[in-house]
């Protein structure tokens, strides 16, 4: 699985003008299931993100995890993270098929909840508008193929 993790002061996702997920300080996570991914990859990704020390401590150093700060999570499906850019028009054949992608997306979000985080989500497959205030900015790219 692939993810782009952004430290935020706030984030929200809307579908057709309605806010369907919203958080204050925490992490906005764009996530994509790749061909061949399963629950072990989703679990490993969630565990890794939960432990990332990317929040500032009292000395201003990135030394605290989401758990330390008691932040929230907004998880948004993002199949374009699987883009194949061999040409000028991206292809997405590396992404998991939609039904499997949805299942793993929902599993990942449930896993973040199981880690103890207040977790909001977008809507899988929907045309979403995502708004966020990136804190830092801090943006981390993760791929379970390299974790």
Task: Point out the residues that are catalytic.
Answer: 78-80
The pair of structure tokens assigned to 16 is 């057709």
Cα separation of 64 and 121, whole Å? 23
The pair of structure tokens assigned to 52 is 């990332």
With left for phi above 0 and alpha for psi between -120 and 50, is residue 36 left, alpha or beta? Answer: left
Report DSSP state, residue 86. Answer: S
């Amino acid at each position: 699985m692939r993810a782009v993790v952004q430290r935020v002061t706030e984030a929200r996702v809307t579908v057709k003008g309605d806010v369907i997920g919203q958080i204050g300080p925490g992490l906005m996570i764009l996530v994509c299931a790749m061909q061949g991914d399963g629950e072990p990859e989703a679990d490993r990704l969630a565990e890794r993100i939960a432990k990332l020390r990317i929040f500032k401590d009292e000395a201003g150093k990135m030394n605290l995890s989401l758990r330390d700060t008691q932040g929230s999570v907004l998880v948004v499906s993002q199949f374009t993270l699987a883009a194949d850019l061999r040409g000028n028009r991206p292809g997405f054949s590396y992404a998991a098929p939609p039904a499997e992608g949805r299942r793993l997306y929902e599993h990942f979000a449930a896993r973040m909840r199981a880690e103890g985080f207040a977790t909001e989500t977008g809507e899988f497959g929907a045309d979403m508008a995502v708004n966020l205030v990136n804190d830092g900015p801090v943006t981390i790219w993760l791929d379970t193929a390299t974790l």
